[in-house]
Amino acid sequence: MIITIVILSLLFVVSMVVNGFLVWFNREAINKLLLVSNNVVDTMGLIEEYNEHLESLYEMEMFYGDATLKGLIDHTKFVLAEMKKFEQVYNLTVDGDIDDYPPEEEA
The Cα–Cα gap between 87 and 102 comes to 13
Would residue 100 count as lying in a domain? no
Residue 1: C-alpha distances to residues 4, 7, 10, 15, 24 (Å): 5, 10, 14, 21, 35
Would residue 53 count as lying in a domain? yes
CB 47 within 8 A of CB 83: yes
Would residue 14 count as lying in a domain? no
Would residue 13 count as lying in a domain? no
Q: What pLDDT, on the 0 to 100 scale, is given for residue 14?
A: 97
Q: What pLDDT, on the 0 to 100 scale, is given for residue 101?
A: 45
Q: What pLDDT, on the 0 to 100 scale, is given for residue 22?
A: 97
The Cα–Cα gap between 74 and 79 comes to 9
Would residue 56 count as lying in a domain? yes
Tens of pLDDT along 17-56?
999 999 999 999 999 988 888 888 888 889 889 888 888 8
Would residue 60 count as lying in a domain? yes
CB 78 within 8 A of CB 104: no
Please count the structural domains in the chain. 1
Range(s) of the domain holding residue 68: 33-93
Would residue 65 count as lying in a domain? yes
Tens of pLDDT along 63-101?
777 788 888 888 988 988 888 887 776 676 655 544 544
Would residue 51 count as lying in a domain? yes
The DSSP call for residue 95 is S
